[in-house]
Structure 1
């Protein structure tokens, strides 16, 4: 697909590895806005969960303080006065703190899991619904591999962050804060040592942050490339094998995998410097606290229990630091993923729904093009000043060379695109003002690419009319000549089209798509090369059905097979986005124009 559209430029811009500061700020703000909209409905749950984790962390941090009290106060009372009460109080409080901490932590884990799952459900649903709502222009420029990457690896990165990363962050920060408070309360000079140690810790963390941001974004980009290459290869496996593209794909895929490996290798190298740095700072701080505290124990200015507690706190203070670094690992990966997801959610349909829709419950099918200009991009105008009137109930055949604008005309009628200038009307109503439900009910397009969804044959036909009865489904299949081959399938109309034994040929798929369109009973039926996959007998069956079923509806037939054109009331020959001939098939064949030449060439090809 073309990479020149604005949508594609936005997508490609997001996937660059290097960002300016302004671009990074914009992406971050966009991601935070999305995250805020997801968290806002969960405020109450988050507050309750936050209170639980605060109390739980405080209970866990209380241990060394109780130990210090036991050694410095309860133990002397027991030894000197045989007073067991302080010891019982310390032991009982220690056990109670441990139980409270464990119970509340279990409760916190369950509550936060529910919050994270609710958030991920909302995000996954929002992404699916929004992507489905985006116009055809987006899907023609944003590859299916990228969309799948957004729904799989990107959402998985966010899920991993919420499943464990947020727990590490919240618990780690609270643990460090409460530990620092407890340490300073027990011995202010040791708190001073810890404060000095924070300087290299902050510097190391900042260094890690600046370098990891680019590296983790690179891992997301390279991961997406691997997924895109894999999905597109598997989706187009027939073309791959038909054109012997396996070796080229092997080389390309190996290159993308190598880029992914190198990106991850750089991340591991970064952690190889960061983790030992944390350990070194922690050990150095502990050594200074113990050494200085030891001298003060000797001169009597510090109790031995307080020194033990301070040493435990100094050691524990740096334990969450490595977990926070691992959180930052997941955070950077999830942040890059959230940037891409927010980019998709920021996309607006190029064919928006009307603000004040006009209803048209029973369309007659008259189509009008009034001064329509259309261009896929600024450099190429496909339809320059196009005017056309198609009366209700008329069957029009569009003929012309490839690139003449026939399919573009059909897409404008189906409102997959809006004209750059002018208007396309159905029964005098601009399609941009028509209610989407009425538009989709009135206009149906059948393309050469007949897609069957998972499910039975009957389910696929009933897609055109979800509440259709079995009799209606069978009647539609008979009308297009599909009934006989359907009954030859293992389970008839109940055969699963994607399971062994239920596979159907390209021509049979096309017949099913015809039955799907006919059961919808639209006022306007567009056939865009819809008979190209049919063999001659099947095409004749469809033509017989078309003559009956299209009698009371407007039809637009685009076909290179001129045998299909014969059933049309009127033939339009297009060249370079303009109508160069307009008349009945017989009148144009009798003439000397472009259609007569095409018809003669077609007859010669049959000899």
Structure 2
């Protein structure tokens, strides 16, 4: 019982922090500058689809404004008043032709607007994904995959209605309202004033709801992000959930997250739905004013029946764009909430930034130097302390030590996934901060313990290391690392489709594919970060034989807890808490009987105990 109470308290604190984050995110004024920035994505189409859609919109709007005048002032005040059937016939035919033209214009408007909107959404999603790919590892360290997916998919999708209909409809409605107001005052200023007196009241009511609606939709987005993050974790960790029989607890937690999203969406929908009834009330009030005051003006011969009929038509048309503008405002609020989150990512700059005058590495020998390098992931945790290492080109060096000693940090700095807090990392005497990131990483291959296999064929996964490689080169790389044997046993060989993350393959087979992928890239430097941890002894023997041939002439950094894999390294660095305790080859370190000797001894003791 006490444990349950502690869990409830923990969840309560988490929710308090979550709502505090929401409050922090939404206490901002409507940012028109940001909306203008969003509209800049229309620029590439400003000479194609956009002008055509605007022209079609103007044609259909002009026709809609002309027809009530023709019906009221021409049909009633002239043709019917004078019983001129010929004029009435021509008028009917003319109005029918105008409706036909309006139909064609609206067809092209809808077509061009949808093409325009889809292109803008495509460009925006492509830009966001491409930008996220260029961000540094620190960005992904502090965000879940689910929250990133929400912004690339859901937040951008929420802008689709704005770009496919919203913008052109906004222009059309504003043009329609302006035209109606001008025509009403031309027809009868007194009746026009009487009818539109309700507008200030409507504006006052709608602005009162403005902040609440915007707040509600931002809360929806944040709840949705949290739900997607949990879904992503839940699906990826399904094996762990089932292994510990935590399905019920996981479902209960998801129920809480799902309920939060449901309730926030329902609250936002309720507030948004209040716009339409307000418009209907204003419409009813305007109609009552028109009938009562309009009838009075007709009886006093101030206006004609045709003018009254035109007013009736325009009044019906008047509230329709106002209603759409209310919905459009809701759409703008939703777009504003999404665009804030999208531009937050687009404004994110890589912690590892390229200099404007950075140069490409055309040829790399592989000499690596750490010059008084200090690095920390955060202020409270220093990973490397004034580390100085020199690795000759073509050397095979090994990094050993307990978890957290700084081994993987060294590998990350060589690939420039992070920059040192102080000091410099150099390759061939060049500070890595002076060279382009792409040219650096194209000459370095990294193989991790938790290898990632993409959905697709075995051939495509290996070719990921060098997309221009031929089938023969892919097969040769697989043979070198010993992967060809198990691939040939698969039903379709190299054309076998692997499932997401390569789930049809064993851990060792996935690791062999990652070796083949890395070696196909023909790198100058190879980094193996616990790369043999998931491979059985027989496969490891194959790989060790292959690596002897393959690593000749290349600089290689091997990080391993299994010390049997690094016996033949040219130099071994023993790390502890970001500092080098010992260095030398296997034999010399054993003779020193220091930390390395203790690590080797403890591993052999464990093996004997097993």
- Smaller-chain TM-score bracket: over 0.9
C-alpha distance in structure 2 between counterparts of 1:61 and 1:15, whole Å? 50
How far does residue 507 in structure 1 lie from its aligned partner after superposition?
Answer: 0.7
**8 Å CA contact retained: 1:490, 1:501:** no
User: Could you say which residue in structure 2 is the equivalent of 1:531?
Assistant: 532
Secondary structure at the aligned position of 1:347 is classed as coil
1:71 paired with 2:76, answer yes
User: Could you say which residue in structure 1 is the equivalent of 2:483?
Assistant: 482
User: Could you say which residue in structure 1 is the equivalent of 2:56?
Assistant: 52
Once structures 1 and 2 are overlaid, which stretch shifts more, 452-461 or 597-606? 452-461
Superposed CA offset, 1:211-236 (max 9, x none): 21111111111122222211221122
Secondary structure at the aligned position of 2:456 is classed as coil
How far does residue 197 in structure 1 lie from its aligned partner after superposition?
Answer: 1.1
**8 Å CA contact retained: 1:525, 1:555:** yes
Quickly say closer, same or farther: Cα 1:312–1:40, change in 2 above 3 A: same
Superposed CA offset, 1:118-176 (max 9, x none): 21121111011111111122122221111111121111111122233334433333222
Secondary structure at the aligned position of 1:244 is classed as coil
Secondary structure at the aligned position of 2:468 is classed as coil
1:39 paired with 2:42, answer yes
Quickly say closer, same or farther: Cα 1:443–1:534, change in 2 above 3 A: same
**8 Å CA contact retained: 1:204, 1:274:** no
**8 Å CA contact retained: 1:180, 1:313:** no
How far does residue 427 in structure 1 lie from its aligned partner after superposition?
Answer: 0.6
How far does residue 329 in structure 1 lie from its aligned partner after superposition?
Answer: 2.6
How far does residue 88 in structure 1 lie from its aligned partner after superposition?
Answer: 3.5
Q: Which runs of 5+ in 1 are unaligned?
A: 1-11
User: Could you say which residue in structure 2 is the equivalent of 1:240?
Assistant: 241
Secondary structure at the aligned position of 1:16 is classed as helix
TM alignment of 1:360-509, pairs within 5 A:
360-498=361-499, 503-509=504-510
C-alpha distance in structure 1 between counterparts of 2:241 and 2:215, whole Å? 34
C-alpha distance in structure 2 between counterparts of 1:211 and 1:579, whole Å? 58
User: Could you say which residue in structure 2 is the equivalent of 1:3?
Assistant: none
Secondary structure at the aligned position of 2:451 is classed as coil
User: Could you say which residue in structure 2 is the equivalent of 1:289?
Assistant: 290
Once structures 1 and 2 are overlaid, which stretch shifts more, 262-271 or 493-502? 493-502
1:62 paired with 2:66, answer yes
TM (normalized to structure 1)?
A: 0.92
Q: Which runs of 5+ in 2 are unaligned?
A: 1-16
C-alpha distance in structure 1 between counterparts of 2:515 and 2:100, whole Å? 68
**8 Å CA contact retained: 1:28, 1:339:** no
**8 Å CA contact retained: 1:31, 1:342:** no
C-alpha distance in structure 1 between counterparts of 2:26 and 2:508, whole Å? 54
- For this pair of structures, how many residues does the alignment match? 590
C-alpha distance in structure 1 between counterparts of 2:528 and 2:209, whole Å? 59
Once structures 1 and 2 are overlaid, which stretch shifts more, 170-179 or 184-193? 170-179
TM (normalized to structure 2)?
A: 0.92
How far does residue 537 in structure 1 lie from its aligned partner after superposition?
Answer: 1.1
**8 Å CA contact retained: 2:196, 2:286:** no
Once structures 1 and 2 are overlaid, which stretch shifts more, 399-408 or 544-553? 544-553
**8 Å CA contact retained: 2:451, 2:514:** yes
> Cα RMSD (Å) of the superposition?
2.2
Quickly say closer, same or farther: Cα 1:319–1:249, change in 2 above 3 A: same
User: Could you say which residue in structure 2 is the equivalent of 1:6?
Assistant: none
C-alpha distance in structure 1 between counterparts of 2:485 and 2:597, whole Å? 37
User: Could you say which residue in structure 1 is the equivalent of 2:21?
Assistant: 16
1:324 paired with 2:328, answer no
